[in-house]
């Protein structure tokens, strides 16, 4: 299906981002919906989003949890929406560990959405620390709001990592070809 802008001009093919949204309750789901709506509004011309929705209650069911692990392992963005107080339920923590293990070192983004998370003290709760730690262990960026830009797609294969590692930018080329000053004589 081709996409067009407001004037009917066909847009170039866009990247597709897989999003897994995990939410605690109805209010948390609404926060996640708002976050995803903002993503679509801000980046719709460049990125298509495929969103799957998983409640904490679903993650306590073995079959659903397994399916959610598989989706999260491949996802570009994982959104956790929850109240800031307390800790995650045991099944949610177990699910988080399983998708981190299944994901390997694939790059991505983890977003922690918590009502009232506006001040520094709100970002020190157990849940925020858990999510920041998970993002760190999973080599993922950690966000608490919609980013200003998502200018590059996330590599999803060893070939894309290799290609990126072999690219020589003009800055890197300048560094690599800079002549070293002659050694100074020892005193």
**pLDDT score recorded for residue 79:** 95
CA torsion through residues 166, 137, 82, 144, sign: negative
Which residue's structure tokens are 């894309």? Answer: 160
Q: What is the pTM of this model?
A: 0.69
CA angle 22, 25, 31 (to 5 degrees): 65
Evaluate if residue 49 carries a pLDDT over 60. Answer: yes
pLDDT tens, position by position, 148-187: 555 444 444 455 445 555 555 555 555 566 676 777 787 7
User: What is the pLDDT averaged over residues 29-35?
Assistant: 94
Share of the chain above pLDDT 70, in %: 69
The domain locations on the chain are 15-150
**pLDDT score recorded for residue 3:** 45
Q: What is the CATH number of domain 15-150?
A: 3.40.50.360
Question: For 64-68, which contacts have Cβ atoms below 8 Å and span 24 or more sequence positions?
Answer: 65/91, 65/94, 65/95, 65/98, 68/20, 68/22, 68/95, 68/99
pLDDT tens, position by position, 68-124: 999 999 999 999 999 999 999 999 999 999 999 999 878 899 999 987 545 544 457
């Amino acid at each position: 299906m081709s996409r067009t802008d407001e004037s009917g001009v066909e847009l170039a093919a866009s990247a597709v981002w897989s999003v897994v949204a995990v939410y605690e309750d109805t209010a948390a789901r609404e926060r996640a919906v708002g976050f995803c709506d903002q993503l679509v509004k801000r980046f719709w011309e460049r990125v298509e989003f495929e969103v799957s929705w998983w409640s904490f209650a679903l993650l306590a069911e073995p079959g659903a949890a397994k399916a959610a692990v598989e989706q999260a392992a491949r996802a570009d963005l994982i959104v956790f929406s929850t109240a800031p107080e307390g800790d995650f339920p045991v099944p949610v923590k177990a699910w988080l560990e399983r998708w981190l293990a299944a994901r390997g070192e694939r790059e991505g983004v983890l977003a922690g959405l918590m009502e009232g998370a506006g001040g520094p003290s709100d970002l020190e709760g157990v849940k925020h620390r858990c999510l920041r730690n998970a993002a760190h262990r999973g080599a993922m960026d950690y966000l608490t709001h919609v980013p200003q830009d998502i200018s590059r797609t996330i590599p999803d294969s060893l070939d894309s990592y290799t290609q990126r590692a072999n690219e020589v930018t003009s800055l890197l080329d300048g560094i690599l070809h800079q002549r070293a000053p002659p050694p100074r004589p020892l005193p």
